[in-house]
Structure 1
Amino acid sequence: MQGNPILSHGAARPVRVVLADEQELMREGLAALLSQQDRFEVVGTTGDGRDCLRLCVDRKPDLLVFNENMPGLNGIEAARRVASRCPQTRMLCLSESADRPCVRAAFDAGAHGYVLKRCTFANLVDGIDSVLSSRYHVSPELAHVLVEAFCQGHDPASALTPREKEVAQLYAEGHSTRQIAERLHISMKTVGTHREHILAKLELEGIADLTRYALRTGLIALDA
């Protein structure tokens, strides 16, 4: 398969990149490293999932590098929406987690690559080159995770609607029903209905179980 023409030595323009990570230092450091190479142009950075979607829709990047843990709208759901609205954008998840549910969630959302944050910058660039060349990429140490994913059953979280995922994340982050209703501009009754559907689909008993599930699968960060 031929590589992406924007990677060729005679490229007319650099690769346009959006960086989305809840850690500001990580965003700034990665932006500085990428900007040292003429073939990359960082066109936006953010630590917020909704802003990530807005940046991608507005700026049409060639590449989105994202982390799954962002407040309000987590990176997985943001990536899912980017995949739907910006199908030309290639996506690479840069994560601290090597857990199977997190890796699977990223690819289910439409990511084309998954690289661990403990990798070197050279490893990250290899991953970027792979996904920009219309291939899929994972850190070598994650190969066993992909095998396990094929051997396991369907992830029940994939049955949640986009709104249910938002509500689930907000509950897991400690927001009350009233706070969620105000934040999403819906009624408390509607929030309650979403809550019941979420618990039923995930086969959970209550919000405490939902919080544990969210932490285990990367829906929220440990310090959210």
Structure 2
Amino acid sequence: MPLLSASSLGHAFEHELFGEVSLEADSGECVSIMGVSGSGKSTLLHTLSTLLKPLAGEVKLFDQSIYQLPTAQLLELRREKLGIIFQSHYLFRGFSGIENLQVASILSKQPLDYELLEAFGIAQVVEQSVGELSGGQQQRLSIARVLTKKPQIIFADEPTGNLDQETASSVMEALFDYVKSQKALLLFATHDASLAKRCDRIYRLDNKRLLPWSF
């Protein structure tokens, strides 16, 4: 069975965002979802990643129907096997950078990867308070915190949207390398066609439907 499968997903707020969305993805794959702002990309990622129950359809991760799991089991799945990268950092503001990473390390029972900090260019600043870091450093720290957990599935919503082009390229390189080395799955929303082109598959959320896409 694939790591992720979704069938006939639908969701709406004031109006329908998407409907009849089906998708399968497996280990070692990078899958990108494109679409204009407001098309529902973030909402779709949230439904796939255990954060938002869809109004219709089913999501399976690791062959488990996630929205039928007891809350404790769902939290355990999220803590130990999933990595979720948001557009906002959601770092612990009163902590230093290294303390943020240590929290993820303790909860997931995974050791800190100091080579990852070097790859993200934040090894020299992790002792500083989060509030002393630039927005780009905070974003890189938040992504490093996710990878510290060694997740099997990573969901990312515009993960490099707040980074300059050079830094974004190095961060995405680290994410792609992680997927290959760990045989993980990366599913991310992006406006960046150059990043999407590097993925195994590209989809576009358009007119409430998720369709295969190519350039």
TM-score > 0.5 by shorter chain: no
Q: Which has the larger radius of gyration?
A: 1
Which one has the bigger strand percentage? Answer: 2
So what's the TM-score if we normalise by structure 2? 0.32
